[in-house]
Structures are given as structure tokens and as C-alpha cells.
Chains A and B, each alone.
Chain A
Amino acid sequence: MLLVIISGLALGGLYGMTALVYNVMYSTSKVLSFGTGQFAMVGGICAAWVVLDLHWPVWIGLIACLLAGAVFGWLSELIAVRRIVAASDEHLWVLSTLALATMVQEAMSLVWGTDPTPFPRVFPQEFAGVLDQKFWLPLLLSIAMAIGLQVFYRHSMTGKLFIAMSEDTFAARARGVSTDWMRAQSYILAGVLGALSGFAAGQLTFADFALGTALGLSGFIALAVGGIGSSVGALVGGAILGTLTALTTYYFGAQYQKTIAIGLLILLLVVRPQGLFGTTQVRQV
């Protein structure tokens, strides 16, 4: 039972990190990217390829994974977001990010194949059980990421500018902030964090091309449950969803995972559209 809860929390850590990645991109662009889950997928596969196929050390795998995430994040902003944000049409950014996500996923399935592949151990480990690193890595990292992001937003110039942009893009631009470059930076950061989450959770999820879509959905549920813009909410939302997923899998079998998850999402959004920790009202008109 303890194992079930721990694995649920670990999964929740991954979902929470994905929700954080949504938030990072949302802050500067007001875009919820369909490709958010793909960062973790790309990062995970990249690391697995470097370590397992090229037989290089794990730390090189990590660097490669982060680099891939950074490049992918930057490209997403450049290709799918920059021109769309100017048009400020929700219809369009949903489509452009969906298109990019589809392309990346299909490209990965063609290059990497469609079978999930085991992920290398990050630290040497001889035992299995509750203390397994595959649980603790994503869990601890998610907490570290949330704290790190808070520090970043509060104390670094770039972070403060992200916040300024999220509050008023026009005002930020009027004060001479290069909003395009800021947005690009936030997407690069998002790519790096997303890839990192994929690396940390790799032993849990395996290197799987189909991870991105499912993770994009789960991360979004965590985000919606916690409330857009809230780091604490992202973690709590992720933890709730992860634990619930693990418990339903334990009691009813894996086939009802998504059914439960989406049920949770819809239920909560009907009752409380802004999420548990969200302050901004969901725009209705």
C-alpha cells in the first residue's frame, strides 16, 4: 500500500512538473501549449538514446536531454507561438501547438520506434521498493522545481520581467522590454524544465514516444485542478491526480486511469472553474 502511494506521489511529481512547465509558458504568452508534455518525451528519449545506444555516461545523457529541451522549447516559441500571439486568437494557438506536438510525436515514433524502452538508472542502485530512486527523483525534483521557480520569479531580473509580462504585456513593451525575446526565454526555460522532468521520471515512464500526449493531458489536469499560475497548486494538483491514478490502478486496474482523471477534472471545473489555488477567474465572455 505504501508503495502504491509513493508511486502515485512520484507520478504526481511528474504531473506537477508538467503543470509548472505550462505555467512558465503561460506567464509570458498566455498560451497553453498542446506540446507541453512533449518536452518530457523528447528529453527522456534523448537521454535514453545517448546512454543506452551510444553508451555514454549518464551525465552526458542529462546534458543532451536538457539541450534538446532548450532547442525544442525555443523552436516552439519561434514556430508555433510568436506569430500567433500577435493575432491573439485562442483558436489559432491551440491549433498551432497541436500541429507542432503532432509533428514532434510522429517524428519521434519514426526515428525512435513505437515501443517503450527502459530508461537507464541515474544512480547505481541494488534494491527495489519504496526507496527506489525512480520514485524519489521525480518527487523531490518537482518540489525543487517549484521552489526554484518561486526564487527565480522573486529574485532574478528575468523572472521579474516574466511576471511583469504576465500582468501586462503592453506595459512591459512600452517600458522597452523585448517581449519577443522574453517569451523565447520562457519557452527555452520551459523546454529545459520539461526535459528535466522527463529525465527524472524516465525510470517510471520509460522512454516512450506516446508519453507526450498523455502527459500533456495529465499535466493540464494538474494545472487546472491547482489553478493556472500557482506553483503550489501545480504540485498539489499533480499529487492529487497521481495518487488517485495509483489508487484506481491498484483497486480497479490500469484501464480506468484516464476515465478517473478526466472525471476529476470535469467535476472540479464545474464546481470551481478557477482551480483550487487559482485567483484569476476563467474568462467567460
Chain B
Amino acid sequence: MTTAATPKSSGTVRRSNRPLYMVFGCTVFAAFAQVLLKFGAQHPAPALALGDTATWLPFVIALATNAPLVFGYGLHAGNAMLLILALRDGELSILYPVYALSYVWVSLLSMYFFGESLNLWKNLGIALIIGGVGLLGKVSSRA
């Protein structure tokens, strides 16, 4: 079942890097989804008391009409589909760590949307992650 997904190439066949690019797209979408969830979290919501059923409906309605929250979760769901498609044809041990790239996009988007600043540590972290993912790309095209 799994051998079909990761054929040992005979050396002459160069494996496609397409799954890698798909996960790359995933990380961008995941970061935007994260930003949407953060916007959604800033929406006011009525208090929920689990013991009091009367508070359930207003709470659920508030969540369902919270557009950034709904779009954020929707984006995460679409993202999962793209990730699954990528996993079908690529190595898990290469594709899964590439997901760390979303940390980089979240840092950059937080700067833009929430005015969070980058400091030395964050810059260093971003550089290291990009280096690591770049190395995975190299490993992937050689595999």
C-alpha cells in the first residue's frame, strides 16, 4: 500500500517536487488561517455557562456568525485537503517538517496585521527555519 507512494527511484527517474510545492502553499494558507482565527478571537462573544442550556444557543450563533472565525476554520479544512493530496505522493518525513515554514509567515503577518515587532531572536529563528526547509527541498529533489 505504501510502496506505491514512495518508489525507490532507479536513479534515472527524477522525482517530482510537486508535493513539496503543495505543502509550501499549505503553509501560506495556514498562516492566513491563523491570522483570521486571531481576528475572530477578538470578536465579542456572550458568556457560556455549560450548566445553563439557555446560554448555549446565543454562544453558538455568535460563533457561527463570526466571519473571520468561520473563514479561518474553513481555510484550515481546505488546507488539510491540500496536505493530504501532497502526502499521497511524497515522503512524510520530508513534507511534514516543511510545515514549520508557517511559523515564518505567521511572524511576518503578525508584524503587518497586529503591529508585532521582530527582534533578533525572531529574525534568527526565521533564518534557521528557512535554511532547514531549503535543505529539505534539496534532500527531496535528490531522493
A-B complex is real? no
